[in-house]
Amino acid sequence: MPDTAHEQPQQRQFYPYTENGGTILAIAGADFTVIAGDTRQSEGYSIQTRYAPKVFRLTERAVLAVNGFAADGNMFVKKVKQRLEWYRHAHAKEMPLRAIARLIQTMLYAQRFFPYYVNNILGGIEEDGSGAVYSFDPVGSYEREACRAAGAASSLVQPFLDNQIYFKNQTPAPGTPHPTYLPLPDVLAIVIDSFTSATERHIEVGDGLEMYVVLAKGRSIEELADVAGVQELTTRADGDRMFVIQRELKKD
Amino acid sequence: MDHFPTNWGRPRNELHDQYNTYPIHQRPSQPKDVFGEGVQRTQQPIVTGTSVLAIKFKDGIMMAADNLASYGSLARFKDIQRLHPVGTSTIIGASGDMSDFQYLQHTLDELMVDEFTNGDGHELGPAEVHEYLSRVMYGRRSKLNPLWNSLLVGGLQDGKPFLAYVDLLGTTYSASSIATGYGSYIAIPILRAAVDNKENTLTEEDARKLLHECMRVLYYRDARSLDKYQIGIVTSAGVSVSDAIKLETNWDFAEGIRGYGAQTQ
Amino acid sequence: MSIMEYNGGSVIAMVGKDCVAIASDLRLGNQALGIASDFEKIFPMTDRVYLGLPGLATDVTTLREQFRYRLNMYTIKEEREIEPETFAHLVSSTLYERRFGPYFIEPVMAGLQRLPNGGYKPFIAATDLIGCINFAKDFVVAGTASSKLFGVAEGLWEPDLEPEDLFETIAQTLLNAVDRDAYSGWGAVVHVITKDKAIKRVLKGRMD
């Protein structure tokens, strides 16, 4: 029998994860939500592609942004969409936003000991017609918020949002309190500024910007009329409406 | 669950088995799974192929890969084909472990036969092949037993050029020029400069020249490459993989460099 | 745990129209434990040159004394005060002397450079811990909140801000950045330097 006592167990474990860069962001208004993400996909210092979407339409009124390990992200979105289709067939209606949020938490926690390496942000319109953003950690902890940034440049963007959306560290002039929700054009401007800033200072952010806008039923679309590059995705009249806006970002 | 009853503990007294009729099994030498040692999953690539390059052009897609399969730094097999036609509108190209790739070739060929025998007139295009491969690759990585490859899938999908990537982690993307391995550092800058925004004007001849030049650059700089390569093309005329093409190279520059060319002093 | 994050703290400097501003938080910590909320990291080198020293607290003190000594020697020898650009090179060479056993400090400088015509030009600069200088035209940041400072500053800063607007911009940038950093905060201090005066304002901030 060969003497194997001295042999060290030598093995380089296969590491099943990687990071693919990029950043996502969502902001809720009173009766609308904006969900955005850049379109660069990278690994290390290499840009793999300049167009790989990270933001996905789930239902008439729900949009999911996924950031982190792209393979896990795409698979997770695929499975969420499948669960939503099953729900549609079983109940003859679309799953409401807060239920999708709970579904996502359950699906993420199911993988507690081999997690999806992704940060999720779910945005859309709630059953009461209000704009909503839900953000998740990789194992399913979640919270409803007014705004959230996640991904590679989240540390650059989130404090900017605290200042511009929550008016943190700002004192209102007497008798003019800060607004609870911002109007749509202001929100779009903040989203675009956030991404141009992140592109300037973070190498994994850039190439393209994709912004989904979900408007509550009956809301005026006037504010989107003169925005460049808008495309409507609404499939059913007399419901909530959905739009996507595409912008270029610096490619260096 | 331990399926050997004798390991559950002997009966407390002879009342239960007075004449000792209860069979006494050979106790297993290992209390754990006896086949555990035989299962090998975490692995490393053994016989490997280097870069694959691919671009979209006016009439379809073009792919290039050299004919070398290396065993570490040894140029082990110099007549290996790394481009594989699938059906009538798809080509896949592989870098990484060649045995894993050949396993995938068999799997795909079997899949195409299964689809053909359905006799429904449908055939899998590059989008379907890529989706299938990405599921297989992601599935294997999720079992921590990956197929150690970076694969390019190219072809014509509904008359339009299709080009996409999938690797051992299940990572996927698509772009108008893609390269694996050293090609992603060395060839991609050249390919992007020539292809981006010109996908609809680049001719087959331009594309062929471009890939030829990139394969030459790679042969100069990638120590695991070979000066013999093949080109795969998918157009509306169908799929074809060329005969081996020889690269002409000129190493005169090395003459004056000490430790590279002939010793000068 | 990195030694650069041992005590925490952040500094930022910005250029305005004929003025500069430099600001820092006031926290001194021992890893996650807060120790003091009055630990200033910005020191006047001359009337027109300010130096911020975020990083390891023991090196903050050492370098402050080191620069006081070297500046005195310069002033005696040259019989004039140092200009900010010259000072940046003094900082750089002082740090590079310790190239293979560095001080764990990333200095940030702000000042007004005297011009031949008698006017002043805003000047800011920062270096890494071994003295690689970054002469920026807009803003420089350093410390444990640097990535946050970059993000907010990139969004809020604009060219040619008047002193009061520059103060508001740098104060908002710092406050909102350090509120998202566990190792910075506990109050802040802002210096705005113009050709005829330097204003120091101590700001209240979140104490959590």
Nearest 5°: phi and psi at A27? -135, 130
Q: Which of C86, C56, C54, C55 is nearest to C71 (CA)?
A: C86
Is the predicted pLDDT of residue B43 greater than 90, yes or no?
A: no
Structural domain contains residue A7: no
Which of A16, A49, A70 lies closest to B141 in CB terms? A16
Structural domain contains residue A210: yes
- Number of separate domains in chain A: 1
CA C175/CA C57 separation, integer angstroms = 21
The answer to whether C94 and C70 are in contact (CB under 8 A) is yes
In this predicted structure, what is the pLDDT of residue B110? 97
In this predicted structure, what is the pLDDT of residue B254? 83
* DSSP β-ladder status, B69-71 and B90-97: unpaired
Structural domain contains residue A130: yes
Is the predicted pLDDT of residue A202 greater than 90, yes or no?
A: yes
In this predicted structure, what is the pLDDT of residue B28? 53
ipTM score of complex = 0.96
Structural domain contains residue A1: no
Q: What is the mean pLDDT of residues C39-44?
A: 98
Q: Does B169 touch chain A (CB under 8 A)?
A: yes
Q: What is the mean pLDDT of residues C139-156?
A: 98
Domain covering B47-246, topology: Glutamine Phosphoribosylpyrophosphate, subunit 1, domain 1 (3.60.20)
Q: What is the mean pLDDT of residues C143-147?
A: 98
Q: What is the mean pLDDT of residues A19-42?
A: 98
The model's pLDDT over A59-92, given as tens digits with 9 standing for 90+, comes to 999 999 999 999 999 999 999 999 999 999 999 9
Domain positions in chain C are 1-201
Instruction: With both helix axes pointing from N to C terminus, report the angle between B188-195 and B204-221 in degrees, rounded to the nearest 10.
Output: 160
Structural domain contains residue A17: no
Structural domain contains residue A15: no
Is the predicted pLDDT of residue B31 greater than 60, yes or no?
A: no
The model's pLDDT over C94-111, given as tens digits with 9 standing for 90+, comes to 999 999 999 999 999 999
Compute the count of residue pairs across chains A and C with CB atoms less than 8 Å apart: 56
Q: Do A71 and B185 touch (CB under 8 A)?
A: no
Q: What is the mean pLDDT of residues A2-11?
A: 51
Inspect the structure and tell me whether chains B and A have 3 or more CB pairs less than 8 Å apart: yes
Q: Is A150 helix (H, G, I), strand (E, B) or coil?
A: strand
CA B186/CA B180 separation, integer angstroms = 10
The model's pLDDT over B184-204, given as tens digits with 9 standing for 90+, comes to 999 999 999 999 999 999 999
The model's pLDDT over A158-173, given as tens digits with 9 standing for 90+, comes to 999 999 999 999 999 9
Mean pLDDT, rounded, of chain A: 95
Q: Do B42 and A74 touch (CB under 8 A)?
A: no
Which tokens sit at B41? 């999953």
CA B120/CA C129 separation, integer angstroms = 69
In this predicted structure, what is the pLDDT of residue A135? 98
Q: Do B43 and A14 touch (CB under 8 A)?
A: yes
Q: What is the mean pLDDT of residues B233-253?
A: 96
Q: Do B188 and A52 touch (CB under 8 A)?
A: no
In this predicted structure, what is the pLDDT of residue B184? 98
Structural domain contains residue A245: yes
Structural domain contains residue A31: yes
From C29's Cα to the closest Cα of chain A, the distance in A is 21
Domain covering C1-201, topology: Glutamine Phosphoribosylpyrophosphate, subunit 1, domain 1 (3.60.20)
**CA angle at C153 for the pair C147 and C156, rounded to the nearest 5°:** 145
For chain A, where are the alpha helices, taking DSSP H only?
70-91, 97-110, 154-164, 184-201
- The sign of the CA dihedral A135, A137, A143, A146 is negative
CATH code, domain carrying A195: 3.60.20.10
> Which residues span the domain enclosing A112?
23-249
The model's pLDDT over B73-113, given as tens digits with 9 standing for 90+, comes to 999 999 999 999 999 999 999 999 999 999 999 999 999 99
Chain C residues in contact with A198 (beta carbon < 8 A): 151, 154
